[in-house]
A and B are shown apart, each in its own frame.
Chain A
Amino acid sequence: MPIDWIHAGATVLASFLASLVECVEALTVVLAVGVTRGWRSALAGCATGLLVLLLLVTLLGPVLARVPLHGFQLVVGALLLLFGMRWLRKAVLRAAGVLALHDEDAIYRREMQALGGQAGAHAGLDKLAFALTFKSTVLEGIEVVFIVLAIGAGRADLLGPASLGALAALLVVAALGVVLHRPLARVPENLLKFAVGVLLCAFGTFWAGEGMGYVWPGADWAIPGLVGAFLAVSALGVPWCRRLASAGAKGSAR
């Protein structure tokens, strides 16, 4: 059925890409902590963080299932819009050179430097290493959980594809981290954030509209239309912002 395909395919893709970005960010911290402070505590913090997230999903899942669909779509659509439009705004400004690009290598070096002065083998559990990787895993993971819930908010059968996308991203990033042992700086993170921002905004607009009882032209086919509209406006915004920023820089140099 084409409609299911649109939903399931777009859901897996959006969830995979969004989760990939978050997992790459968490991996950078785990690698920096593991290399400088030892792997045992770093991995213990990461594993505990994953357990906390699992608990959160287990507790939240059944509660969310009881919320009326329209109300749930409206609330999740609104949150998804705030979340996605924040991402997209930042991605446009980064692409235009107004904000600095996100650089995993630089973050990795900064973390290593910050931890370097305290480096050394730890016989027991290294509390700092544990706390850092735990915090990073939980914070990035909460974003993933939220993305999965938000993207899969429309129908109960979409939570499966959304979770599948997130799980695939986690496995891909973990496998690459184990093989490469360095941050995934080659992942075009800013481009991914741009694409994910567009997808999140499109889903957020669609769910919020559904929650308000709107009838979308073309029903589910409105989602690709919204993706195209957000992409077009964002793509238009990049050169426009670049021109404005460079005009501003020239003006202040005079």
Chain B
Amino acid sequence: MNGLRMALTELWGLFVDDGRYALAIVAWLLLAWRVLPLLQLGGWNAAIFAAGLLAILLESVLRRARH
């Protein structure tokens, strides 16, 4: 049981380090998947999706550096 728990913890750690950062990525993915297409932005969806991820990255590193 301990081995399984350890393996799951390690597996979780592969994807989640800073909870807020991971949550922001998942939330943006869901928005981009479900909401962005409703805005009828034509070919801009992909670029907006990528720009959002870049913004999340920059905000997270700056926040960490500040504290």
User: In the complex, how many residue pairs between chain A and chain B have their CB atoms under 8 Å apart?
Assistant: 109
Give the A-binding residues of B (Cβ under 8 A): 10-11, 14-18, 21-22, 25-26, 29, 32-33, 37, 43, 45-47, 49-50, 53-54, 56-58, 60-62, 64-67
Q: Is the interface of A mostly helix, strand, loop or mixed?
A: helix
New contact pairs (18) apart from A81-B29, A86-B17, A205-B53, CB-CB < 8 Å: A78-B26, A82-B16, A82-B22, A83-B14, A83-B15, A85-B25, A85-B57, A86-B14, A89-B61, A205-B49, A208-B29, A208-B49, A212-B37, A212-B49, A214-B46, A215-B43, A241-B65, A248-B66
The answer to whether A244 and B16 have CB atoms under 8 Å apart is: no
Q: Is A245 an interface residue (CB 8 A)?
A: yes
The answer to whether B17 and A230 have CB atoms under 8 Å apart is: no
Q: Contacts A78-B26, A93-B61, A216-B46: A146 and B33 contacting too (C-beta < 8 A)? A: no
The answer to whether B15 and A82 have CB atoms under 8 Å apart is: yes
A236 proximity list for chain B (CB < 8 A): 58
The answer to whether B15 and A98 have CB atoms under 8 Å apart is: no
Interface residues of A in 77-91 (CB under 8 A from B): 78-79, 81-83, 85-86, 88-90
The answer to whether B62 and A209 have CB atoms under 8 Å apart is: no
Cα distance, A245 to B67, chains bound together (Å): 8
Cα distance, A86 to B64, chains bound together (Å): 13
Q: Is A139 an interface residue (CB 8 A)?
A: yes
Cα distance, A205 to B43, chains bound together (Å): 16
Mask for A1-41, Cβ within 8 A of B = 1, else 0? 00000000000000000000000000000000000000000
The answer to whether A229 and B54 have CB atoms under 8 Å apart is: yes
B64 proximity list for chain A (CB < 8 A): 89, 93, 98, 241
Interface residues of A in 53-91 (CB under 8 A from B): 74, 78-79, 81-83, 85-86, 88-90
The answer to whether A237 and B58 have CB atoms under 8 Å apart is: yes
Q: Contacts A98-B64, A244-B62: A230 and B43 contacting too (C-beta < 8 A)? A: no
Q: Is A217 an interface residue (CB 8 A)?
A: yes
